[in-house]
Amino acid sequence: MIVVRQKPVDEICAFVTRHRRVLLVGCNTCAAVALAGGEKEVDLMAELLRLATSRKASFVEFSGTVLTRQCEPEFLEQLDSEGYDAILSMACGAGVALLASSVDVPVYPALDTLFIGAAQGLASWEAECSACGQCVLGRTAGICPITRCAKGILNGPCGGMSDGRCELGDRDCAWVLIFQRLEKFGRSEEFLEIAEPKDHSLRTRLVTWDAHEDGIR
Amino acid sequence: MRQTQVAHRSGLRDEQQRLYAPCRARCPVHIDVPGYLAAIGEGRFTDALEIVLERCPLPSVCGRVCLHPCEDGCRRCLLDDPIAIAQLKRAAADFGVYPRPEHPRLRPEKIAIVGSGPTGLTAAHDLANRGFQVTLYEEKPLLGGTMRYGIPNYRLPDYALDRDIDYILSAGIAVNTGIRVGRDVMLDELAASHRAVVITAGLQGSRALPIPGVDSPRVLTALPFLEASSRGEDVDLGNRVVVVGGGNVAMDVARTARRQGASDVHVVCLESSDEIPASPQEIHDADIEGITLHYSWGPRSISHEAGTCALNTVRCTSVFNAEKRFAPSFDESVAECFEADTIIFAIGQSADVGDLGIALTSRGAPQIDPLTLKTSIGNVYAAGDVVSGPTKIIDAIAAGHQVAATAYRDITCDTEPLRLLNEEIDTLGEVPDTMANKLETRRRIQMEHLEFFDAVKTFDEIEGGYTEYEAAREAQRCLSCTTGARLTREKCSLCLTCIRVCPHGAPILSTDGYVYFDAAACNACGACQSQCPSQAIVLEGHSEQEMSRRVERQLWAAEMDTALMFACSSTPIVPNLGGTPPRIITVTCLLRVSERTVLEALQNGATRVVFAGCVESTCRFLHARELVRQRSGHIEVLLSRIGMTNAFDFVEHKADDLDWHLR
């Protein structure tokens, strides 16, 4: 899922205080699961903004609603934004963008989109994928070097590794983890194969994808 | 009422069937026990009393003398002790304020109720609250029936009974005491002048055995003796008293005789110690007061000598025959003679309604149609012990509800109250091991009571009742069965947070990809509800709206510059903040105070919000303190971001602090 985090509320305040009626729109898919944009967070954010703005003697009205997914036009059609002069979207970047394209008032993000990740337990996620467009997990035993290696290199480890740790000091070296897992499955010789450079244009040029055009559907 | 004992997943529940906690399911009138225990646990005695009154108009009485079938079902039984459900009902009645009657729109129909015992009072209460003009007819000078004239004052003092009766009468019920229907006024006159008549006369006749020598001034029967005692009359019994009988009435008689000055009291019963029908508690109390029980003796005759008498008995070999019918058999070769100054028979009561002029059964009880509860006169109903034979008070109250709902249906054609009374219910199974292993042992709090050597000298009430503090602590032992999490599937975003925070494994991820809650494994700690991002989980026994109203009420009466404190009900001590005393809201657990509630309070005028947390030794819920700490941290961060750094505080006390919150 897409992992998101709430922006500091002072940053959000700066967006909304110049408006009169603001609608907060949550998203009950990834943003809710990431405990940042579900109904509870929408209600709480509205209350917090009410408190913050009333302390500054500015009179902004806040209401909240939640869509099932903000990144689908059909769900956005269910949104009634009549009478609001701004929208605060509590969804990932995709949700904010689609919402902004479908209404005539300014849409502001309340969340920062962090990564594609997996849950590690209560309120904790790990980045697992960088959406590079050319998956290498097949030869790296399911550990993504693009995401987990600080340099994102395809042939590692680099000289900065010591005792299995990355020189940044905040993580294990991804390539050591890859080696250990390949070894576990008796595939350590694959580690010696040199990987060709990736086509990074896939990342920068692939702005839309239509399955029909590709003849897949 | 049918019950099925199944471990239960609320997600799979048929919505038509109500899921009750075992205590509530076993109560004949289904009092919302977890509901009122939760209120008492938060120190809200008036709320608790109102919850009890919804189902039982005699809380002060039931709190003292109910035989509490609820407690036998308590899911805490297997862990340590059942909750003192009945005694906590007394606390609700002792400390709560009885509500004012609502006075519904008055209806033209008049209804007469004959007899003012628990059934009659309940029926009068129900019918008066539905707008009927109700008149109570009572033969005795005061209302209450057996509760006043049968149950001794050391168990149920008059002031406790009067409190309930005053509440019931406040609904606007006319009272005619000192009038016996069938003698002073005829039943057919009543039937003609009222839309309905309900006979709830109870069991007024006391039986004695037809054995030689029974007709003597030294031989008494139970009810006249108990009635004389409850009126405060001195009955000359002599020193040695023999009570014949093995039920709770026999124990009452024996203990009353002890208080009437008899120093040597014996109870002689037909049954063996395994079969004796008196409740174990009554037998225990009688034993403590120095009363001797003699099991398996059948009276044969009473012989008289100058001033004293003797009960001649033979050994009873069995009380019941193979069909479990009462058919005692005796061994005439084993005999025993019990000498006494007075012999009192307490072997059962009978209906005394022969002068009413209605058809009677062979036992002398009114003949009724079991479906319509009607007697041989069309608009005359009969219910309670007079029909069913001796039952518990709470059964008599249930009979009162039933006959009131039946009469209401017959008059108005509205079947709803009757349908609700007889709806099918479902209950929870035992506490699963996964949960039981994690629950701490907490024994029942014992009530102050008179020591037996003082108790037997007077008719003063033996049990002193809980203090407010003791009541709250005892109520907090409740496992809150069926008041826990309920999931609205449509709102669930399947984040699985509930599964991750629940300490007892109540939420289950099923193979169909949905989350279900196992109600049997939920003790309503509120961890899942407090974390659910989609607000898809609510606690049955808690609502955000109700919390908002409580906050509003506190702040409405507050002065400027007032702090609002949310105190965990398990908090041993409410911290002293200095300055204006804070308004305090006591909550079951601080997890029930959401971030939003705190912000709302600040928005609505509180200058500061304080969380007063509990300590490890008093905390009721596993992991809850950790979650409360996280929540407090979160609130502090949020408020500091908008420049309100001193608006929130979280105070926890050390374990060695004095335990005086809620005292």
pLDDT of B566 strictly over 60:
yes
Contact of B545 with chain A, judged by CB distance below 8 Å, is answered with no
The CA distance from B623 to B504, in Å, is 11
Start-end of H helices in A9-92: 9-16, 30-33, 39-55, 73-76
Start-end of H helices in B491-605: 497-501, 527-531, 544-556, 595-603
Cα B175 off chain centre by: 26
Instruction: Choose from A7, A35, A40 for mutation: most chain B CBs within 10 A.
Output: A40
Contact of B78 with chain A, judged by CB distance below 8 Å, is answered with no
Query: Which tokens belong to A108?
Result: 């502001």
The CA distance from B311 to B241, in Å, is 11
Q: Are the CB atoms for B269 and B295 separated by under 8 Å?
A: yes
Query: Which tokens belong to B187?
Result: 């039943």
Residue B69: cis peptide before it, omega within 30 degrees of 0: no
Arithmetic mean of pLDDT, B640-645: 90
Q: Which domains does chain A have, with CATH numbers?
A: 2-115 (3.40.50), 131-205 (no CATH)
Arithmetic mean of pLDDT, B271-294: 92
Contact of B508 with chain A, judged by CB distance below 8 Å, is answered with no
Most confident of B49-63, B447-461, B535-549, B575-589: B49-63
pLDDT of B102 strictly over 90:
no
For chain B, domain boundaries: 207-349, 485-539, 544-651
The CA distance from B486 to B8, in Å, is 13
pLDDT of B259 strictly over 80:
yes
Contact of B641 with chain A, judged by CB distance below 8 Å, is answered with yes
Amino acid making up residue B587: V
Arithmetic mean of pLDDT, A69-87: 95
Residues facing B360 on adjacent strands: B366
CA closest to A26 among chain B residues: B534
- Collapsed DSSP state (helix, strand, coil) of residue B568: strand
Please indicate whether the domains covering B207-349 and B485-539 agree at the CATH topology level. Answer: no
Q: Are the CB atoms for B130 and B408 separated by under 8 Å?
A: yes
The pTM for the full model equals: 0.89
Residues facing B532 on adjacent strands: none
> Going by C-beta distance under 8 Å and a sequence separation of 6 or more, which residues neighbour residue B423?
B18
Arithmetic mean of pLDDT, B167-182: 95
pLDDT of A90 strictly over 50:
yes
Arithmetic mean of pLDDT, B516-533: 93
Contact of B595 with chain A, judged by CB distance below 8 Å, is answered with yes
Arithmetic mean of pLDDT, B208-215: 88
The CA distance from A125 to A113, in Å, is 13
Say yes or no for a CB contact (<8 Å) between B533 and A39: yes
What pLDDT band is residue B381 in, cutting at 50, 70 and 90? very high
Closest by CA to B403, choosing from B441, B427, B371, is: B371
- Collapsed DSSP state (helix, strand, coil) of residue B286: helix
Say yes or no for a CB contact (<8 Å) between A51 and B494: no
Looking at every residue in chain B, the average pLDDT score rounds to: 90
CA closest to A53 among chain B residues: B642
pLDDT of residue B663: 45
CB pairs under 8 A between A and B: 76
Say yes or no for a CB contact (<8 Å) between B533 and A40: yes
What pLDDT band is residue A58 in, cutting at 50, 70 and 90? confident
Contact of B231 with chain A, judged by CB distance below 8 Å, is answered with no
Say yes or no for a CB contact (<8 Å) between B493 and A52: no
Q: Are the CB atoms for A111 and A47 separated by under 8 Å?
A: no
Say yes or no for a CB contact (<8 Å) between A52 and B642: yes
CA closest to B532 among chain A residues: A40
The CA distance from A24 to A81, in Å, is 10
Which residues of chain B does A52 touch, with a Cβ-Cβ cutoff of 8 Å?
642-643
Q: Are the CB atoms for A114 and A4 separated by under 8 Å?
A: yes
DSSP B440: P
CA closest to A34 among chain B residues: B495
Arithmetic mean of pLDDT, B232-237: 90
pLDDT of B661 strictly over 70:
no
What pLDDT band is residue B440 in, cutting at 50, 70 and 90? confident
Which fold is adopted by the domain B485-539?
Alpha-Beta Plaits (3.30.70)
pLDDT of residue B658: 53
Arithmetic mean of pLDDT, B274-301: 93
The CA distance from B116 to B283, in Å, is 29
What pLDDT band is residue A55 in, cutting at 50, 70 and 90? confident
pLDDT of residue B9: 37
Cα B481 off chain centre by: 17
What pLDDT band is residue B577 in, cutting at 50, 70 and 90? confident
pLDDT of B562 strictly over 80:
yes
Say yes or no for a CB contact (<8 Å) between B534 and A39: yes
Contact of B201 with chain A, judged by CB distance below 8 Å, is answered with no
Share of chain B above pLDDT 70, in %: 96
The CA distance from B235 to B279, in Å, is 26
pLDDT of B91 strictly over 80:
yes
pLDDT of residue B14: 40
Start-end of H helices in B502-585: 527-531, 544-556
Instruction: Please write the tens of the pLDDT for every residue from A156-187.
Output: 899 999 999 999 999 999 999 999 999 999 99
Q: Residue length, chain A?
A: 217
What pLDDT band is residue B130 in, cutting at 50, 70 and 90? very high
Say yes or no for a CB contact (<8 Å) between B497 and A43: no
> Going by C-beta distance under 8 Å and a sequence separation of 6 or more, which residues neighbour residue B14?
none
Say yes or no for a CB contact (<8 Å) between A122 and B643: no
Contact of B500 with chain A, judged by CB distance below 8 Å, is answered with yes
Instruction: Choose from B500, B537, B600, B642 for mutation: most chain A CBs within 10 A.
Output: B642
Q: Across B522-651, where does the E strand assignment appear?
A: 537-539, 563-568, 583-587, 608-612, 648-651
Largest CA distance in chain B: 96
pLDDT of residue B659: 52
pLDDT of residue B654: 61
User: What one-character-per-residue DSSP string does B142-154 give?
Assistant: SS-THHHHTS-TT
pLDDT of residue B660: 53
Which residues of chain B does A44 touch, with a Cβ-Cβ cutoff of 8 Å?
594-596, 599, 638
Arithmetic mean of pLDDT, B70-82: 93
The CA distance from B203 to B182, in Å, is 16
Closest by CA to B175, choosing from B133, B231, B230, is: B133
Query: Which tokens belong to A138?
Result: 């097949």
pLDDT of residue B17: 59
Determine whether domain B207-349 maps to CATH 3.50.50.60.
yes
What pLDDT band is residue A114 in, cutting at 50, 70 and 90? very high
Closest by CA to B568, choosing from B641, B623, B621, is: B621
What pLDDT band is residue A59 in, cutting at 50, 70 and 90? confident
Candidates A38, A50, A122; nearest CB to B534: A38
| Lowest mean pLDDT, pick from A45-54, B208-217, B461-470, B576-585 | B576-585
